[in-house]
Amino acid sequence: MNQQVRQRLFELSQLDELSHLTFENFEPRGRVGALPRQADSLEMAFNQANHFARHIDGWLILQGGYGCGKTHLAAAIANFAVSVGVPTLFITVPDLLDSLRFAYNDPQATFEERFERIRNAPLLILDDFGTQNATAWAQEKLFQIINYRYINRLPLVVTTNLAEGDIEDRIESRLKHPDLVTVVKIMAPDYRGPVGDYGHHILSSLHIFPKQTFDTFDLRKNENLGAEDLRSLEKAYDAARRFADAPHGWLVFLGGYGSGKTHLAAAIGNYVSMTNNPAMTNVPLPMFVTLSDLFDHLRATFSPSSTISLDRRFEEIRHSPLLILDDLGLQSQTPWVKEKLYQLFNYRYYAELPTVITSAISLEEMDARLRSRMLDRRLCQIYALTVPSYTGDTAVRRRATGRRKKV
């Protein structure tokens, strides 16, 4: 490839603006305070990108949320490749499509010439895949580029914030080819976000419960409570610890308000978030959401200004590797709410996805369809916390009297 063509690729890439993004100034473990699994996933992505830059072979897909470091690593690959003489085209997908559209009126190059230059680039790096306007023309041109490089085994790097299932089927099948493609999921939070934002899903409110851990849970042995009440609390605590060590099946906590249900549920989420288990490196953080907030999030997708569809938002929730549903109760029981709740429970039931549920109502008060799923002992464990509401008073209190809710 002659120097003129190489210069054209460089100009099209606009790498001058990204020349400061290198491997040398990338923080492989992320910012201070990142959770272990987030730092591990970022370091893995850094190592894979470094290896790819030095060998330029196969495809590398970097998946992750906004600000996690995908573009920095992709630009670092491009800058390294250019420095060793590899003609490289680094371009965001929206800019690529604009470049092709403008070529129809460009006296300097025909559409066909520009299209050939892009799909035949010795190294092609597509940044922000998934942010483009998904018209039929755009999808077709992207498929043609990716399919051409797939057939000819030309090196490709793609960054995207899309999850599996959100990419057009023909393209996704090529981006998942095990013999050609290395996929790295970056779990790190947005480095532009505030310190303490650990990259939880936008729907999850787990970040507001940092103090709800197993270490801070009060078994209330200094209170004048009955032995049966104390046993119910201890059994629920032990069950939560076991579940957190190996999330499997469903775990349901029933009890009055202030009995400790939400603390245990949040403790599970915080424990799993902090685990350094290598098997969890590429597993998203738990999603902790109250039922009322969940439906607010779903309804928000109906807004004309929403950037996400109801179907995609709902899929994010029901596919969550660990879903913690707090305060299942007598939410506004419209037919739509009932149906969505049943769809959520039914999917996770048959998929046997780890789920934690808390509720202040009894089983008898629940929708019969939901109750039937919870009563399957092969999948679900139910623990009733019969203790009275916790007030934070460390002094010995009289045993609370009154009728307990039935489980």
| Per-residue model confidence as pLDDT tens digits over 296-308 | 889 998 988 887 8
Rounded-to-integer distance, Cα 188 and Cα 200, Å = 9
Please state, in angstroms and as integers, the Cα–Cα distance from residue 359 to each residue in 263, 288, 325, 327, following that order: 13, 14, 9, 5
Instruction: Kindly state the average pLDDT of the residues 120-142.
Output: 86
Instruction: Kindly state the average pLDDT of the residues 377-389.
Output: 95
Instruction: Kindly state the average pLDDT of the residues 251-259.
Output: 95
Residue 287 forms beta bridges with which residues? Answer: 323
Using a cut of 0.75, tell me whether the model's pTM lies above it: no
Q: Which two tokens stand for residue 74?
A: 């992709």
| Gyration radius of the chain over CA positions | 26
Least confident span in 270-279, 285-294, 382-391: 270-279
Q: Which two tokens stand for residue 276?
A: 């350094």
Distance of CA 250 to the CA centre of its chain: 20
Q: What percent of the chain has pLDDT over 90?
A: 49
pLDDT tier, 190 (very low <50, low <70, confident <90, very high otherwise): low
Distance of CA 314 to the CA centre of its chain: 13
pLDDT at 257 over 70: yes
Strand order in the sheet with 250-255: 287-290, 323-328, 355-359, 250-255, 380-385
Query: Among the residues of 185-290, which ranges form H helices?
Result: 227-245, 261-274
Q: Within the chain, how many helices (H) and strands (E) appear?
A: 13, 10
Tell me the pLDDT of the chain averaged across its residues: 85
Q: Tell me the one-letter amino acid at 286.
A: P
**Which residue shows structure tokens 């030309």?**
154
Would you state the pLDDT for residue 7?
66
Instruction: Kindly state the average pLDDT of the residues 165-183.
Output: 88
Instruction: Kindly state the average pLDDT of the residues 383-390.
Output: 94
pLDDT at 137 over 70: yes
| Residue 369 C-beta-side C-alpha neighbours within 13 Å | 11
| Domain assignments of the chain as residue spans, ordered by start | 3-186, 206-385
pLDDT at 272 over 70: yes
- How is 281-331 classified by DSSP, letter by letter? TTSPPPEEEEHHHHHHHHHHTTSTT-SS-HHHHHHHHHT-SSEEEEEES--
**In angstroms, how far is the first alpha carbon of the chain from the final one?**
74
Residue 181 forms beta bridges with which residues? Answer: 59
pLDDT tier, 261 (very low <50, low <70, confident <90, very high otherwise): very high
Would you state the pLDDT for residue 44?
92
Q: Which two tokens stand for residue 278?
A: 């290598």
Would you state the pLDDT for residue 331?
57
Would you state the pLDDT for residue 404?
42
Q: Which two tokens stand for residue 332?
A: 């506004």
Candidates 1.20.950.20, 1.20.20.10, 3.40.50.300, 3.40.50.1100; correct CATH number of 3-186?
3.40.50.300
Q: Which two tokens stand for residue 151?
A: 């057939």
Rounded-to-integer distance, Cα 168 and Cα 302, Å = 23
Instruction: Kindly state the average pLDDT of the residues 365-383.
Output: 93
**What is the domain class of 206-385 according to CATH?**
alpha beta
Residue 60 forms beta bridges with which residues? Answer: 157, 182
| Residue 232 C-beta-side C-alpha neighbours within 13 Å | 21
pLDDT at 198 over 60: no
pLDDT tier, 330 (very low <50, low <70, confident <90, very high otherwise): low
pLDDT at 101 over 90: no
Domains 3-186 and 206-385 share a fold: yes
Rounded-to-integer distance, Cα 217 and Cα 240, Å = 11
| Per-residue model confidence as pLDDT tens digits over 202-252 | 778 888 888 999 999 999 998 989 999 999 999 999 999 999 999 999 999
Q: Show the 3-state SS of 317-349.
A: HHCCCCEEEEEECCCCCCHHHHHHHHHHHHHHH
* Relative orientation angle of helices 111-119 and 136-151, to the nearest 10 degrees: 50
Would you state the pLDDT for residue 31?
67
Instruction: Kindly state the average pLDDT of the residues 241-266.
Output: 95
Helix (H) or strand (E) holding 251: strand 250-255
| Per-residue model confidence as pLDDT tens digits over 312-329 | 888 888 888 899 999 998
pLDDT at 166 over 90: no
| Per-residue model confidence as pLDDT tens digits over 341-360 | 999 999 999 999 999 999 99
Instruction: Give the closest residue to 321 by CA, choosing from 360, 377, 275.
Output: 275
pLDDT at 268 over 70: yes
Would you state the pLDDT for residue 135?
82
Would you state the pLDDT for residue 163?
74
Would you state the pLDDT for residue 199?
54
